[in-house]
């Protein structure tokens, strides 16, 4: 295609100058806003933490077909203006965070899904275009994290299919694909005394587990398996003296087939060699080197004569020939000290997201044991502990630095420890972090390469250098009380309009509001309206209940609460003066569009708000 030049004359010139200026301002605003959005999370969400993306490689079209309509990459056969588009999906795979991500099995975090498509354009039996293209799209659904001990989320795991070994190919279909396109959260299980409810969308069914003899504080462990490209859900129900295992296919986890799913899950299997299954403390799914599907590692505790705990480690595997689960004793780990059940945890790791033989860490009080040898069928009774600086009272978070090196985060009410740990090492250097005076830590979640720390008063965004990047105010209603069973979040509603107001809403409504230009936190100089008094808002309150502060909604903007992001890295809770606040949210996929990764749509927001820090300036931005 030839490039030509034309002279512009007369009245057209001012119009071109004006148009050029508008484009320049628009592009500058996009670039500035994107830069400021990134700065609001500092260096935590940077491209070095993302797997390299395959970019959409659409070539130019020759002069003879300048009138070719915009390419349609929808899978299948489509016709537009006489042109027939043939698109065949070759593969799809998640692009994962390389560092600072949850390393546990089934919890891989993609920033985009990469699709490889064979693309052909035909008209009148003539092939005008034929190529293989790569398209990156944001995940269709987010995984969900349960903050209620009685709720077990059902998140279809992401698996890195290109990393599977030859012996793992039986996991896939013959063409190397996984059947279906469902991903992310599909529902949850709710534990209640005597029953277990399966909830998928608006449909739920209860399973009577009372007849199994389970105690009121029974536990649920969910596993996932791939069999010939089809997802299978595995369920382990257990208490101190019972263990039951069942399964169902993913195709049954929808509102039409829920009865079939509950029948499958109630068709439980017991475990042969029940004499080993006394005083069960924990049961987790893991993968062994034989790659015949996930197995259970069970820790069964008992007291020694010295009143110090010890645990038996049991391997529960399925015998396909005899159609039975059996337990194998892999050794007793002694001298755990005097610990409670709350101080005992099993962490199953899959840093490559390939269902490879699992790395297994056991936490007992202030001791850490690497029992990964279990994945190779070996005994683990000779494993020596790594001594930690504090007891592990809450579920530890193991964070991937690379495939063999990790951060281990343990926390209590007043602070947390962040350790550096290498698999097989007998040391775990770390430090105690206490930055939340007169606040109680309720949870720590690692997502998008950063830590989200929830206290009884605030939500903190913290990087792995333990710097506080952002601090969000609590979600209280006017009288200081939240509606029972409904967490609330403060937002600025319709910012920049005559209807702008600060209000609190149920967490379930937040996603829809952020998608329409509202932002987290109070509007400046506005009173807070309770959601109970706000019945006229035009946003959908039935959206997902995840409060995801880095969703692909960048419409966060006017500064609030006097929190600026100071250039010298000081705590944002001490910003000096000004009204700068939490900045616009960052789409972790950068400028990857929902369609083809070539759009900057998600970062096209106008900056707004200024704040002077102690030694620097920061601009809140995001007014859409």
Q: Does 121 reside within a domain?
A: yes
In this structure, the number of other CB atoms found within 10 A of the CB of residue 564 comes to 30
Contact status, residue 622 vs residue 583, Cβ threshold 8 Å: yes
CA distance 523 to 578: 14
Q: Which of 69, 102, 137 is the last residue of a domain?
A: 137
CA distances 216 to 126, 213, 270, Å, are 69, 9, 19
CA distance 424 to 426: 7
Contact status, residue 581 vs residue 560, Cβ threshold 8 Å: yes
Q: Which of 89, 110, 137 is the last residue of a domain?
A: 137
Residues 6 or more apart whose CB falls under 8 angstroms from that of 493 comprise: 499, 500, 501, 502, 503, 513, 518, 523, 529, 534, 537
Contact status, residue 115 vs residue 92, Cβ threshold 8 Å: yes
Q: Does 192 reside within a domain?
A: no
What's the number of domains the chain is made of? 2
Q: What tokens appear for 543 in the block?
A: 């959206």
Residues 6 or more apart whose CB falls under 8 angstroms from that of 33 comprise: 554, 584, 603, 604, 605, 606, 607, 621, 622
Q: Does 525 reside within a domain?
A: yes
Supply the pTM of this predicted model. Answer: 0.67
Predicted local distance difference test score (pLDDT) of residue 180: 67
Mean pLDDT, consecutive 10-residue stretches, the chain (624 aa), reads 37 45 46 39 46 45 49 81 89 88 93 89 90 85 80 93 78 70 86 93 91 92 91 95 94 91 94 78 94 91 73 92 90 88 95 94 96 93 94 96 93 97 94 95 93 94 95 56 51 72 71 62 55 39 33 37 36 37 37 36 38 39 39
Q: Does 214 reside within a domain?
A: no
- In this structure, the strands spanning 528-530 and 501-506 are parallel
Predicted local distance difference test score (pLDDT) of residue 309: 82
User: 398: helix, coil or strand?
Assistant: strand
Q: What tokens appear for 272 in the block?
A: 């042969």
Exposure string over 187-196, b if 16+ CB within 10 A, otherwise e: bbbbbeeeeb
**Beta strands across the sheet bearing 184-192:** 151-156, 184-192, 195-200, 203-208
The stretches of 440-523 forming alpha helices (DSSP H) are: 510-515
Q: Does 295 reside within a domain?
A: no
User: Domain limits at 85?
Assistant: 46-137
Predicted local distance difference test score (pLDDT) of residue 163: 84
Q: Which of 99, 119, 137 is the last residue of a domain?
A: 137
Q: Does 109 reside within a domain?
A: yes
Q: Does 296 reside within a domain?
A: no
Q: Is the dihedral of CA 300, 306, 308, 313 positive or negative?
A: negative
CA distance 108 to 229: 19
Q: Does 318 reside within a domain?
A: no
């Amino acid at each position: 295609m030839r490039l030509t030049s034309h002279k512009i004359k007369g009245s057209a010139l001012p119009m071109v100058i004006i148009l050029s200026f508008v484009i320049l301002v628009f592009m500058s605003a996009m670039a500035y806003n994107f830069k400021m959005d990134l700065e609001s999370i500092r260096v935590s969400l940077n491209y070095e933490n993302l797997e390299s993306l395959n970019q959409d490689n659409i070539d130019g079209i020759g002069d003879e077909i300048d009138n070719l309509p915009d390419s349609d990459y929808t899978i299948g056969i489509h016709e537009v203006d006489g042109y027939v588009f043939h698109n065949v999906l070759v593969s799809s795979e998640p692009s994962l965070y390389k560092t600072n991500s949850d390393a546990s099995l089934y919890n891989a975090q993609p920033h985009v899904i990469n699709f490889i498509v064979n693309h052909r354009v035909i008209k009148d039996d003539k092939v005008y275009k034929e190529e293989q293209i790569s398209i990156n799209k944001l995940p269709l659904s987010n995984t969900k994290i349960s903050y209620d001990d009685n709720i077990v989320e059902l998140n279809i795991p992401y698996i890195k299919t290109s990393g599977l070994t030859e012996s793992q190919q039986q996991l896939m279909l013959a063409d190397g694909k996984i059947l279906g396109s469902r991903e992310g959260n599909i529902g949850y299980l709710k534990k209640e005394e005597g029953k277990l409810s399966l909830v998928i969308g608006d449909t739920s069914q209860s399973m009577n587990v009372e007849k199994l003899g389970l105690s009121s504080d029974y536990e649920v462990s969910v596993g996932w398996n791939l069999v010939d490209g089809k997802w299978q859900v595995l369920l382990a129900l257990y208490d101190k003296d019972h263990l039951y295992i069942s399964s169902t296919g993913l195709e049954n986890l929808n509102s039409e087939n829920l009865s079939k799913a509950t029948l499958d899950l109630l068709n439980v299997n017991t475990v042969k060699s029940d004499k080993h299954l006394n005083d069960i403390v924990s049961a987790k799914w893991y993968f062994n080197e034989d790659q015949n599907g996930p197995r259970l590692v069970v820790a069964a505790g008992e007291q020694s004569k010295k009143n110090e705990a010890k645990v038996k480690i049991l391997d529960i595997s399925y015998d396909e020939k005899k159609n039975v689960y059996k337990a194998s004793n892999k050794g007793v780990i002694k001298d755990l000290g005097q610990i409670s059940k709350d101080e005992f945890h099993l962490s199953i790791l899959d840093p490559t997201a390939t269902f490879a033989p699992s790395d297994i860490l056991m936490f007992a009080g202030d001791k850490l044991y690497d029992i990964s040898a279990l994945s190779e069928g070996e005994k683990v009774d000779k494993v020596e502990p790594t001594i930690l600086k504090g007891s592990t009272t809450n579920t530890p978070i193991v964070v991937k630095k690379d495939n063999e090196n990790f951060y281990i985060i343990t926390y209590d009410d007043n602070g947390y420890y962040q350790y550096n740990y290498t698999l097989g090492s007998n040391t775990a250097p770390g430090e105690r972090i206490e930055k939340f005076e007169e606040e109680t830590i309720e949870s720590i979640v690692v997502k998008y390469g950063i830590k989200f720390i929830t206290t009884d008063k605030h939500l903190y965004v913290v990087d792995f250098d333990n710097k506080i990047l952002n601090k969000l105010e609590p979600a209280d209603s006017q009288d200081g009380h939240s509606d029972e069973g409904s967490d609330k979040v403060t937002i600025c509603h319709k910012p920049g309009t005559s209807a702008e107001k600060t209000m609190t809403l149920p967490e379930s409504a937040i996603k829809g509001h952020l998608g329409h230009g509202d932002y987290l936190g109070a509007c400046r100089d506005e009173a807070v309206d309770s959601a109970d008094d706000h019945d006229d808002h035009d946003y959908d309150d039935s959206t997902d209940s995840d409060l995801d502060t880095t969703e692909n909604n960048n419409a966060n903007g006017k500064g609030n609460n006097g929190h600026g992001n100071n250039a010298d890295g000081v705590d944002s809770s001490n910003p000096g003066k000004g009204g700068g606040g939490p900045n616009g949210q960052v789409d972790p996929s950068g400028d990857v569009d929902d369609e083809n990764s070539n759009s900057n749509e998600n970062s096209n927001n106008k900056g707004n708000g200024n704040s002077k820090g102690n030694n620097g300036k920061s601009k809140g931005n995001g007014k859409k």
